Structure 1
Amino acid sequence: MNATMRRVVIGTAAVSMALSLAACGKAGDDKKSDSSSSSSSGSKTIGLLLPDSVTARYEKFDKPYFEAQVSSLCADCKVEYANAAGDAAKQAQQVSSMITKGVKVIVISAQDSAAIKSSIDAAVAKGIKVVAYDRLAQGKVSAYVSFDNVKVGELQGQALIDALGSKATKKSKIVMINGDDADPNAAMFKKGAHEALDGKVDIAYEQSGLWKDTVAAQKVKAAITQLGAKNIAGVYSANDGMAGGIATTLKGAGISGIPLTGQDAELAGIQRIVAGTQSSTVYKAFKPEADAAATIAVDLLEGKSITSLATTTQTSGSGDKVPSQLLTPVSVTKANIKDTVIKDGLYTVSDICTTEFAKACKAAGLQ
């Protein structure tokens, strides 16, 4: 083989090896969308970073809705996806990885809104636009998309009062299990709930459940020990995940027929509402939220103004005033399941009314 031919063969082999390595990528826990590419130049790539895989909505709804909307708005755009699995340090590493890959916009639902600040500012320093999704992260973010989270808390508190009916008195002892303090939304839910509950009932026990069903269950068990099972009139749970653990604890303590709130309209939460072991949840339509975030992300990618979308502002924990788009949440009880989550196609009747819940579904008028 002459020298010229040898150089051609070696060069071709090197290119082939490089392409092969790029296609393989690095093995790990980070999940990627089908449309993502770790070898992308990043010129039209949007990063999507979600906080955990325990909360059902993120993997089942937010991710696919977001990807679909990006694809519909920008055929040659790509989505690079990763989930922090509840680990703030891991999410910081994921932001660093997005910077290395050259993404132009990062949409992030922060696992810890304060801890992620330095990572966000590092991304912004590289010219990357950052959109805070569902949770208002600290740092120089360009936009924030979420729901009116104080309103979410108000709806939860009011639903608890409504479920108590005539039993809603200043002597009625309520157990309050809030979200994780690292999540700025938790403080807003708590604020709204207190606005609805304070002065109307006695919040006799209040703790954080850290968004974990096991922790929430432990806290409620402690509340039962402290207050007495017969003295608890209702339980405020900041989301459906924690409500699941709480409902199991209440049943184990022989407590039934008291109001239990939730949030996120998780399927298990809706089924508990049908069965009567949870009284309400709050439905934050995932598709409009994901669509809004994807639209803003594409507009930022393409250098367009977002003022027609982000029509208000919110102030983050770092004091930054962030252009924001806030959607309206809806309270869900047994009475309006058909008109909310079923009507919107979030779940079908068959999704909700499995064999275990068939009898309760008939009683609720769902079948």
Structure 2
Amino acid sequence: MNTHLGRAAAAVAAASAITVSLSACGSTEAGARPGGSAKGDAVKVGLLLPESQTARYEKFDKPLIEKEVAKFTRGKGEVVYANAKQDAATQSSQVDAMIDKKVNVLIIDAVDAKAIAGAVKKAKDKGIPVIAYDRLAEGPIDAYTSFDNEDVGKVQGKALLEALGEKAKDGQIVMMNGSVTDPNAKLFKSGVHSVLDGKVNIGKEYDTVDWKPENANTNMAAALSALGKGKIIGVYSANDGMAGGIITALKAAGVSTLPPVTGQDAELAGVQRIVAGEQFMTVYKRYAPEAAAAAEMAVALATGEKIDGIINQIVSSPTTKDVPSVLVPGVALTRSNVRSTVIDDGVYTVDEICTDKLKAACEEIGLR
């Protein structure tokens, strides 16, 4: 990945301060750009999200983007939404539908970054700017916003090493990477390997089809059978959904003391497993800055404004070089900082996390 214009420390400040560059957009008419141009605040944003198995998309991304589009268009903008339910062909058809609905700009979180390229080109040919959201879609995209995904892998790897301590080479670890159709998974994998290689013994490593927890569960059962349950001292899981499947497999195999398991996305179930001591960590990604960046860039591109003042990185995909981007860093969430992350940020309440079953564990870490 090509990156310029600063690194992760600048990303949050740049993304969370996204309020300035569109101050003139509401009173600006776009001129004669084809297809996607909108006049003033009358912006129609097409939003395509990839699936609903991961809680974040419906709970956070969609409402946050809707809120930010409304803010940047003085309440006059419209978000037209569709979810692909993890089907790449469906998502390509949804792009066609968005073109028919005459959206002015598209925000696409691709199910399959490569497969979506043709649909992206089709939208561009109609004059509709396309923003790749969360995953770096191929094709002629105009902008990209996501997290610093290689850094996410590094955060996960460092946390796992911290949990293993001096026993990092006393057994085997299992690596459960994400789906090969997701370019982010490749970056997570690169980042975590840069931290773990040479410092742990990797017994088994898997690329998990479609990020499905049941596939991670099957892979973990196979790893337990191959390596022996007493030999596995840690598990790298690329996200929380898979971590749940992994932990279920460990329990089913009769592992009484669970090894440290990583995660990502700070899903409620993942945070609850962390509180309970079943999952060691997750990467908490502040979705608000990412959503704000996508919304601001969408409104700017739809109305013919420049986005130079919004971006903090330049990245390249396999098909498109020098894509203007906003990248946001992630935070390691463990039992020690549940309150200062997802609770203080208003993502979850103490009552949501601390069910009756977790009451004692919550009190142990100061959540009351």
Query: What band does the TM-score fall into relative to the shorter chain?
Result: 0.7 to 0.9
State the 1:150 CA deviation. Answer: 0.2
Helix, strand or coil for the counterpart of 1:54?
coil
Q: In the alignment, which residue of structure 2 is the partner of 1:28? A: none
Cα RMSD (Å): 1.2
- For 2:177 and 2:191, locate their aligned partners in 1 and report how far apart those are by CA, in whole Å: 12
- For 1:136 and 1:244, locate their aligned partners in 2 and report how far apart those are by CA, in whole Å: 26
Q: In the alignment, which residue of structure 2 is the partner of 1:235? A: 235
Give runs of aligned pairs for residues 246-265 of structure 1, distance below 5 A: 246-255=246-255, 256-265=257-266
Q: Aligned AA for 1:129?
A: P
May I ask how many residue pairs the two structures share in their alignment?
326
Contact map agreement 1:235 1:261 (CA 8 A) in 2 = yes
Contact map agreement 1:50 1:109 (CA 8 A) in 2 = yes
Q: In the alignment, which residue of structure 2 is the partner of 1:219? A: 219
Q: Which moved more, 1:112-121 or 1:310-319?
A: 310-319
State the 1:308 CA deviation. Answer: 1.1
Give runs of aligned pairs for residues 321-360 of structure 1, distance below 5 A: 321-360=322-361
Q: In the alignment, which residue of structure 2 is the partner of 1:52? A: 51
Q: In the alignment, which residue of structure 2 is the partner of 1:192? A: 191
Q: Which moved more, 1:317-326 or 1:67-76?
A: 317-326
Q: In the alignment, which residue of structure 2 is the partner of 1:97? A: 97
Partner deviation per Cα, 1:53-78 (whole Å, 9 max, x = no partner): 10100001100010011011112111
Q: In the alignment, which residue of structure 1 is the partner of 2:125? A: 125
Q: In the alignment, which residue of structure 2 is the partner of 1:20? A: none
Give runs of aligned pairs for residues 3-42 of structure 1, distance below 5 A: none
Q: Aligned AA for 1:69?
A: E
Contact map agreement 1:140 1:320 (CA 8 A) in 2 = no
Q: In the alignment, which residue of structure 1 is the partner of 2:7? A: none
Q: In the alignment, which residue of structure 1 is the partner of 2:178? A: 179
- For 1:118 and 1:52, locate their aligned partners in 2 and report how far apart those are by CA, in whole Å: 20
Q: Aligned AA for 1:267?
A: L
Q: Aligned AA for 2:202?
A: I
- For 1:46 and 1:227, locate their aligned partners in 2 and report how far apart those are by CA, in whole Å: 50
Q: Aligned AA for 1:297?
A: A
Q: Aligned AA for 2:319?
A: S
State the 1:311 CA deviation. Answer: 2.6
- For 2:345 and 2:43, locate their aligned partners in 1 and report how far apart those are by CA, in whole Å: 31
Helix, strand or coil for the counterpart of 2:230?
helix
Partner deviation per Cα, 1:114-133 (whole Å, 9 max, x = no partner): 00000000100110000000
Q: Which has the higher contact order (CA 8 A, sep 6+)?
A: 2
Q: In the alignment, which residue of structure 1 is the partner of 2:87? A: 87
**Aligned residues with identical type, % of pairs:** 52
Q: In the alignment, which residue of structure 1 is the partner of 2:207? A: 208
Q: Aligned AA for 1:177?
A: M
Structure 1 unpaired stretches of 5+: 1-40
Give runs of aligned pairs for residues 125-144 of structure 1, distance below 5 A: 125-144=125-144
- For 2:280 and 2:59, locate their aligned partners in 1 and report how far apart those are by CA, in whole Å: 24
- For 2:89 and 2:83, locate their aligned partners in 1 and report how far apart those are by CA, in whole Å: 12
Contact map agreement 1:139 1:320 (CA 8 A) in 2 = no
- For 2:62 and 2:82, locate their aligned partners in 1 and report how far apart those are by CA, in whole Å: 10
Q: Which moved more, 1:172-181 or 1:320-329?
A: 320-329
Structure 2 unpaired stretches of 5+: 1-36
- For 1:350 and 1:316, locate their aligned partners in 2 and report how far apart those are by CA, in whole Å: 42
Q: In the alignment, which residue of structure 2 is the partner of 1:275? A: 276
Contact map agreement 2:188 2:238 (CA 8 A) in 1 = yes
Q: In the alignment, which residue of structure 2 is the partner of 1:13? A: none
- For 1:48 and 1:81, locate their aligned partners in 2 and report how far apart those are by CA, in whole Å: 5
Q: Aligned AA for 2:286?
A: A
Helix, strand or coil for the counterpart of 2:107?
strand
Q: Aligned AA for 1:264?
A: D
Helix, strand or coil for the counterpart of 1:261?
coil
Partner deviation per Cα, 1:302-335 (whole Å, 9 max, x = no partner): 1111111113211112243211110111111101
Q: Aligned AA for 1:361?
A: C
1:166 and 2:166 aligned? yes
Q: Aligned AA for 2:339?
A: K
Contact map agreement 2:250 2:258 (CA 8 A) in 1 = no
- For 1:145 and 1:283, locate their aligned partners in 2 and report how far apart those are by CA, in whole Å: 16
Partner deviation per Cα, 1:92-139 (whole Å, 9 max, x = no partner): 000010011111100000000000000000100110000000000001
- For 1:191 and 1:362, locate their aligned partners in 2 and report how far apart those are by CA, in whole Å: 37
Partner deviation per Cα, 1:188-244 (whole Å, 9 max, x = no partner): 000000011101001110001221000000000000000000000110000001011
Helix, strand or coil for the counterpart of 2:97?
helix
Higher radius of gyration, 1 or 2: 1
Q: Where in structure 1 do 4 or more consecutive aligned residues deviate above 4 Å?
A: none
